[in-house]
Amino acid sequence: MLNDEQLDKLRKAGRISGEARELGMSLVGEGVKLFDVAQEVEGYIRDHGCGLAFPCNISINEVAAHYTPCCNDDRVFSRGDVVKIDCGAELDGYVGDTAGTVEVGTSVYTDLIESSKRARNTVAEFIGDGIPLCDIGRAVEMSMARDGFVPISNLCGHQIVQYNLHAGLSVPSYDNGDMNTIKSGMTVAVEPFATNGYGEVKNGHFGNIVRIARDKNIRDPKARKFLEYVKEEFKTFPFCARSCDYPDAEKMVKLLMRQGIFSGYAELVEVNGGIVSQHEYTFYIDGKRGEVTTLP
């Protein structure tokens, strides 16, 4: 169980994450640059006293996750795009992780977008101490089936611990038979992805999100200094060159990738090209009901 000070930090990180999510979703529009939205979301998090738990993900249509704009990205939103805004704040390692979906200028995919939201809210009604993971997955799967959609089966929610975004339990979006239970004191992110496709993702293009894979002595003093900056600024969390206030960050990231110091995340794409929606809350489990920490 978290003490009062730790819980205050978790709640602040969650609230700021939720506010940043809503800001990002409100900024999405036809002709708007993805770069500008990501910068605004991350700027909001930093301006309100938190660090970045990961770069702002802006994944569109069949891309379910792990797209964030690069430093010179000129891509803009187009009419009809289904846009997932996934962002996270951290405060002394306590994390808020949250996501929402909007459609640009049309309402073709309203039912799909509502399906992932409804599934998340269904879980919010009963998640708590002692709930088996498979019950959460079954609730998501059944909720989406009633809407005529399927969950992304190989994307799941996750337990979060201090300075570790993906730790311990994985929270399924279908009944996988996992009888391990949610327990009081846990922080858990629940993030159902709904699709009109097959219900799985595959690796797409290499993205811009990286993390420290291993820490070793580096001969190049410039690269060594950049690595020290990354460890100080982002701790153990994923990051991207765009989020670095550092000269030649993109060049340094590529150099340390080649040396195996950093590893990257591929974009995750629905295998049949299905459109994907996502909604996510972070919960602190304290008794029979989980507290949503990522409400704005």
- Catalytic sites, residue numbers: 86, 97, 158, 166, 191, 280
Residues facing 160 on adjacent strands: 187
Helix (H) or strand (E) holding 212: strand 201-212
Q: Decide if 137 contacts 174 (C-beta within 8 A).
A: yes
Structure tokens at 80: 């009809």
Q: Which two tokens stand for residue 106?
A: 């049309």
Dihedral sign, Cα of residue 34, residue 61, residue 208, residue 211: positive
Q: Is 274 left (phi over 0), alpha (psi -120 to 50) or beta?
A: beta
Residue type for 100, please? G
Find where tokens 């080649």 sit: 258
Q: What whole-number distance in Å separates Cα of residue 82 and Cα of residue 131?
A: 32
62 alpha-carbon distance from chain centroid: 16
> Which residue is associated with the tokens 């709904």?
194
* Cα 34 from Cα 57, distance rounded (Å): 10
| Integer Cα distance of 157 and 150 in angstroms | 16
Taking each helix axis from N to C end, the angle separating 34-47 and 4-27, rounded to the nearest 10 degrees, works out to 150
Q: How is 51-86 classified by DSSP, letter by letter?
A: EEEEEEEEEETTEEE-----TT---B--TT-EEEEE
Buried b (16+ CB within 10 A) or exposed e, 10-34: bbbbbbbbbbbbbbbbebbeeeeeb
